[in-house]
Amino acid sequence: MNTYSKTVELRWSDVDANQHVMHSKYYELGAHTRMSFLLAHGYTTELMRELKVGPILFREECIFRRELHAGEVVTVTMLLSKCRRDGSRWSVRHEILKADGTVAAVMNADLAWMDVIERKLAAPPVAAELMTKMPKADDFLFED
């Protein structure tokens, strides 16, 4: 299975009073990985501005399995778990992996594209093609 991933060193500013990474930082790692994928595949902020669209988040959940600490290097993976054929709505699964491969968290996010002028859901002309480039989960499915 092909995956997209980002490797990140966790910072001191990511930890709470208990000396472990705050729950909100896990979500930020997922968002960073998703946006990095878009940028790496030509879906830049300039293109989104030109197309007058942007990604929006409907739902995001995280299952925490292991603590993370400042200074740890983690890898955040991303797989497309489902999408509409036109690419207008899509879901991804992230795993946050410790350096030894231990799964620290599993996150699921449901997203869509929004026309920023009309403030309505949209299917940008390049969305379907972009989704073909995104690595798919083993249980990936198309929605109609």
Put residue 133 in one of left, alpha, beta given phi > 0 → left and psi -120 to 50 → alpha: alpha
Largest pairwise CA distance in the chain: 46
| 3-state class percentages of the chain: helix first, strand second, coil last, to nearest 5 | 25, 45, 30
Domains and CATH numbers, the chain: 4-136 (3.10.129.10)
Structure pTM? Answer: 0.93
pLDDT digits (tens, 9 = 90+) for 91-139: 999 999 999 999 999 999 999 999 999 999 999 988 999 999 999 999 9
Reading the block at residue 69, the tokens are 């600490």
The four Cα atoms 41, 112, 134, 28 give a dihedral, to 10 degrees, of 80
Measured in whole angstroms, the distance separating CA 36 from the mean position of its chain's CA atoms is 9
Give the tens place of pLDDT for each residue, 6-39.
999 999 999 999 999 999 999 999 999 999 999 9
